Amino acid sequence: MSHEIAPREHTLAMPDGVALHVEDWLLAPGSARRGCLLLVHGLGEHVGRYRHVIRALLALGIEVRGLDQRGFGRSPGPRGAIPRDDALLDDLKLVYDEWCANRAERSFLLGHSMGGAVAARAATGGWIRPRALVLSSPALATRRSRLQDLALRIGRRLSPDRAVPSGLKADFVSRDAAVVAAYRSDPLNHGLITPRLAGFIVEAGPQAIAAAPEVAFPVLLLLATHDRLVDIAGARQFHDRLPPRLRTLQVYEGFYHEVFNEPDEDQARVLDDLKAWLNRMIDEASGGMHGGVGPG
């Protein structure tokens, strides 16, 4: 089947009036639908950077929704800002529930980097209960100096909504020079973050890690050994605290942060691993092998 399909682009209004940009990628009429997935992007970027991932998922029969989180991409709001600590979690719940409502198939959640922290916190904290969770280079731990910790504490107290440079270095996004150049020239990307958002990210990881033993759905973690944007020790700790029968860990030697955007052969390897795992989740569900998976 052909998957050169344009997304259905629209907005979803949140209770505070912010209308989030959403893209729904639907299968061609007559295609067998095997599941639905919500994709959550990382810091400073937007869902449009994941179209190659989305097409790979469509090939599995999984329909995909992606959103630009508030303050990012084509969604409104001050850049890199949130109005309250749980704003991204509440947004995600509404977008996920609307997407997966009235769908009997398996429902998946995939988050990258900051989006991985949002997804992990939402799934472990009761906002969302997916059938299965995929985390790509999740920001469950960050590298910070004592001076940065002090600046964050002061900023959260005195100017929580003042945007400052995030410090994210594009050179460390991917080993592919074309990806780095495209990242830098993308007008929808930005390099801003507020102390309130930074504080949320810093706290979301430890909260998800603490809740990991109670997780009742399968989790796939995709990590890069040469990730210089997040500390993969947090994701490893999250993995180690998950129930053993529900956890799968893929670690890519020498890869940079965006494992889906590494050079061609490496990118294909990651996508193949993702597809194989999702196929297994779907096949187990179809065969009645629930493996402790809760309703999504």
* CA 201 – CA 156 distance, rounded (Å): 13
What CA–CA distances, in Å, run from 291 to 10, 97, 134, 295? Answer: 36, 23, 17, 12
Q: What is the Cα–Cα distance from 93 to 173, expressed in whole angstroms?
A: 28
Catalytic residue among 21, 174, 257, 266: 257
Residue (of 136, 142, 120, 112) closest to 233 by Cα position:
142
**DSSP state letter for 121:** H
Residue tagged active-site, from 75, 113, 137, 166: 113
Task: Compute the distance between CA of residue 110 and CA of residue 95 in angstroms, rounded to an integer.
Answer: 13
For residue 214, give the 3-state DSSP assignment. helix
Our answer to whether residue 227 is catalytic in this structure is yes
From 68, 91, 176, 227, the catalytic residue: 227
257 classed as catalytic: yes
Q: Are strands 35-40 and 62-67 parallel, antiparallel or unpaired?
A: parallel
Say whether 15 sits in a helix, a strand or coil: coil
- Give whole-number Cα distances, 233 to 46, 67, 183, 224, in Å: 25, 28, 26, 11
Catalytic positions, please?
113, 227, 257
